Chain A
Amino acid sequence: MKTNMNNRLAYGLMSPMLIYLIAIMVLPFGWAVYLSFTNKVVGAPAVFTGLNNYIDLLQDSLFWKTVWNTLLFTAVAVIFKTVFGMVMALVLNENIVFRNVFRVLLFLPWTIPTIVSVFTWQWIYSDVGGVLNFLLLKAHLISEPVGWLATPALAMFSVILVNVWRGIPFMGIAILAGLQTLPKEMYEAAMLDGAGAVKRFIYMTLPSVKEVTVLAAVMTTIWTLNDFEIIWLLTRGGPSNGTQVVSTLSYTIGFLNLSLGKAIAIAVLTMPPLIMLINFVTKRSLSSND
C-alpha cells in the first residue's frame, strides 16, 4: 500500500521531466535515426534508401580521415589536460599563500563561454598583429611569423592548445577534490620513513586519486570527442580537412550540403563508442551517488 502510494507520488513529481525528455529528446532522436536510413535533404520529403548513407560514409576516405583526426585530437588533448590538471591539483594542494584566490583564477578559462575563448585565441594566433608570433620572434624561437592555422599540422596543434587551455581547470579541480580527502598523517608517516617526493607521488598520491582522475578523464573524453565550437570557429575543419572532426563533418554535410540523412548517419556511427564511455561514467557515478 505504502509503496503503491510512493510509486504514484514519485511518478507524479517526475512527470514534467519525463514527458519533456521523452518528447523533446528521445522521440526526435529515434525519428532522426530513422531518417539516417533515408535520403532526407533539407526541404524535401524523405525516401527510404536502406543502408546507403552508411555505405557511402564507410567508403568515403574523408570520413576515415575525420575519424582519425577526431581520435588524434581527443587523445592528445585528453592526455595533456590530465597531466596539467594533475600538476594544477598538486600545486593547489600545497600550503601556499592566497590558495583560494589562485584556485579561482586558475579556474577562469573553464567558466567563460567557449566562443569567447576561441576568438581570443584566434586573435593571439593571428598572423597580422598576433601576439604569439610577436613574442616568439622577440625570444628568437622563430625567425619569421608562423601561420598557426595555415597548415594542417599546425592547425591541429592550435585547436588542441585551445581545447587544453579550456579543459585543464576541470581536471585540476576534480583531482584536487580527490587529493583533499587524503589524510595528511599518511604523508607525514611516509616522510619520516624517508620516502622521497617521487616515491610518495607514485605509491601514495596516484593510487588514491586514480578513481576520480579516471572518471574525470572519461567525462573529458566524451566532451572532447564531440567538440564542435573550437574547431568550427577556428578552422572550419580546414585547411584541406586537416582538422575536420566528426562533429564538424556532420555539421558541414547536414547544414552546408543539406543532406540531413547522411549527417545523422555520422552521428549514429559515433554512438557505440560514445555509449561505452557514457556507460562507464554512469556506472561509477551511480554507485557513489546511491
Chain B
Amino acid sequence: MEKNAIGKQIVVYATLAVLLVFALFPLYWMFNTSFKSNGEIYNMTPTFWPKDFTAIAYEKLLTEKNFLVNIKNSLVVSLIVAFVSIIVSMLAAYAISKLRFRGRKLISRGILYAYLMPRAVLFIPLYMLVSSIGLNNSIYGLMLIYPTITIPYATWMLISYFKSIPAEIEEAAMIDGCSRARTMLSIIFPLAAPGIAATFIFAFTLCWSEYLYALVVVTKGADKTITLGLSDMIVGDVFAWGPLMGGSIIASIPVIIMYLFTSKYMVSGMTVGGVK
C-alpha cells in the first residue's frame, strides 16, 4: 500500500512536469528571445538565456514602429466595447434571469446561438455591413461589430451570475416597497459585482486579442489594432523575431494580469454554465 502511494506520487508529479514544460516552454522562449540582441537571435546555436540582456527589441518597437498607436487603438476599442456591452448585457441578463415572460426560452437560446456562431462564418457579412456604411478602415467599424462577440458572451455569463442570487433577497426588498428598477439597481447589480467585473474583463480580452475582423475591416495604418500591428511586422518572408517576440510579450501582459485576477471565475465562464 505504502509503496503504491509513492509510485502514484511519482507518476502524478512526472506527468505534471511534462505538462508544465509543454505549456510554458513557448512562453519562456518568447520572453527569452525578446531580450536578446539580433546577433544572438540569429545564431545557429540558440542560447537558453540572453547572453547580454538587452531591451533593444522593445526600444525599436516603441520608437520605430507604430506600435504605440496600435496599442492605443486596441485599448480604446476594447474598453469602449467592453463597457457598452456590459451595460446592454446587464439589462438583458436581468430580464432573462429574474423575470418570467413570453419567449424567454427562445431568447436565451438565441443568445447562446449568437455566442457559438463562429467568426469564420460571420466575417464576410460583417465586413459588407461595415463597408456599406463607410466605416471600414476605421476603429469605429470595429466598435460597431465587436459587440457581436461580446454581448452574447457577456449576457450568457451574467445570466448565471444573476441566477445564483437567491430570489428571496429580491422578494424581501419588494415587500419593503422597493420597485423592480430599484431592486435591480441597488440589490442585484451590487451583489453580482464580482461577476460583472469578471465579465467586463473577459469582454475586454476578447476584443484585445481579436484578429480576423480587424484584418478584414482595417487596412489603413493609423487605425490598426495591436494584433494587426504584430502581423505587420512580418514583411514577406522576413521575420524580425526580436521586436515580434517583444510585441507578443506586450500584447500578452494585460490579458495575463487580468486573468490572474479573475481566474476563479474562468471555469463557469468557459463552459457556458454547463458545469453545475
Contacts and interface: CB of A to CB of B under 8 A. Distances in A.
Interface of A: 3, 6-7, 9-11, 13-14, 16-18, 20-21, 24-25, 28-29, 31-32, 35, 84, 87-88, 91, 94, 96, 102-109, 111-117, 119-124, 126, 128-129, 131, 134, 165, 168-170, 173-174, 176-178, 181, 197, 212, 215-216, 219, 222-223, 225-229, 233, 246-247, 250-251, 254-255, 260, 263-264, 267, 270-271, 274, 278, 281-282, 284-286, 288-289
B163 A289 contact: yes
A102 B118 contact: no
A271 B274 CA distance: 23
Interface string B82-105: 000000110110111001111011
Contacts, number: 275
Interface stretch (B53-61, B190-198, B250-258): B250-258
A120 B244 CA distance: 9
Contacts of A178: 275
Main secondary structure of the interface of A (DSSP, over half): helix
B255 to A, nearest CB: 5
Interface residues of B, number: 96
B175 to A, nearest CB: 15
Contact of A7 (B16, B43, B102, B125): B102
A152 B221 CA distance: 33
A247 B256 contact: no
B178 interface: no
Contacts of B129: 24, 28, 31
A168 B118 CA distance: 19
Contacts of B152: 21
A197 B1 CA distance: 13
B244 A119 contact: yes
B117 interface: yes
10 contacts: A3-B102, A14-B107, A31-B125, A107-B266, A112-B248, A120-B27, A219-B116, A228-B119, A229-B211, A288-B275
Contacts of B151: 17, 20-21
A113 B92 contact: no
A225 B118 CA distance: 9
A101 to B, nearest CB: 10
Interface of B: 8, 12-13, 15-16, 19-20, 22-24, 26-27, 29-30, 33, 41-46, 88-89, 91-92, 94-96, 99-102, 104-105, 107-110, 112-114, 116-126, 128-129, 144-145, 147-148, 151-152, 155, 159-160, 163, 180, 205, 208-209, 211-212, 216, 227, 230-231, 239, 241, 244-245, 248, 251-252, 255-256, 259-260, 263, 266-268, 270-276
